[in-house]
Amino acid sequence: MNPQIDVRRVHPELRASLELMPGGNFTREGLKQLREAMGAMVFQALPDDPAVRVFNKTIPGPEGAPELRVRIYEPAVKKEGRPGILYIHGGGYIVGTPETTDFACYRMAKEIDCVVVSADYRLAPETPYPGPLEDCYAALKWFSENSRELGVDCGRIAVAGGSAGGGLTAALALLARDRKGPAIAFQAPLYPMIDDRNITPSSREFLDDRLWNRDKNEFAWEMYLGPLYKGEAPEYAAPARARELAGLPPAYTLVGELDLFRDETIEYCMRLMQAGVPVELHVYPGCYHGFDMSLNTEIGRRAENEIIMALKKALR
């Protein structure tokens, strides 16, 4: 077993949750069980709220690929010109569904008064890079092209997501820039998984099996990249490798001090700013990967509220 983190470094509100976090079987053979366990997790159930309508829709996938499910969260009262958010769930590129982020998407729709489209992209290793990213691009394209029917201003569509969803958010911003659209008004790649090389100090620091640690990260990257792993991965797979960051949409992100992705997040934000891209970055002391989903804590609720406020301000 890997050495455990000194609990004194962990934010007091998060210590009890840390003790309950399972390690998980991060192997090819264990993926089915991991996915079932992730699917059974409900961080906070959707309230019975007539003000927000939640439903699934099937849209065209990338050329030559299957159709894509999206989960839509929209205010029940129709009106035109609302902002939109394409949300991309996390899970290391290997697990997860839109339902795991139901409550976050519901809150965005309700409190920002926007339409949220959450993409059920294909997962690795069954569908390695570039499949998941192309699914997200197809969802963005559909969202933009059908914005009028959805009551959305196509000039005010943001992309957001956490962890692998943050990595796909950053990659999608690069891809949309280089393909000359669809336009992205704002990006929120939250504690993003963007560097396959595992070369930062924080990528070596966190080994505790209860956290998203180095072993899990290396396994997930190997599953996502397939034969590209340990080679020169494309920048659209690992955005930390991107050489040119100018021309990307303004960004908001947060990361915990005890997150494996701490340093790659900070370095990417620094490079965005150096390229002239406006960035707001928050580093939360004593917080580990995914802490913002701990909505039974004040620190988790605070982080969730700040994400919503950043998106609301950007899309006003």
User: Of 118, 289, 292, 294, which is the active-site residue?
Assistant: 289
Is residue 53 classed as helix, strand or coil in its secondary structure?
Answer: strand
Annotated active-site residue 289? The verdict is yes
User: Of 163, 202, 203, 294, which is the active-site residue?
Assistant: 163
Is residue 183 classed as helix, strand or coil in its secondary structure?
Answer: coil
**Which strands make up the sheet holding 82-88, listed edge to edge?**
52-59, 68-75, 115-119, 82-88, 152-162, 186-190, 251-256, 279-284
User: Of 102, 259, 263, 292, which is the active-site residue?
Assistant: 259
Annotated active-site residue 215? The verdict is no
Rounded-to-10 torsion of CA 216, 237, 174, 71: -60
> CA–CA distance from 149 to each of 144, 212, 312 (Å)?
10, 40, 22
Tokens of 249: 């949409």
CA atoms within 13 A on the CB side of 246: 3
Distance of CA 141 to the CA centre of its chain: 18
Active site residues: 163, 259, 289
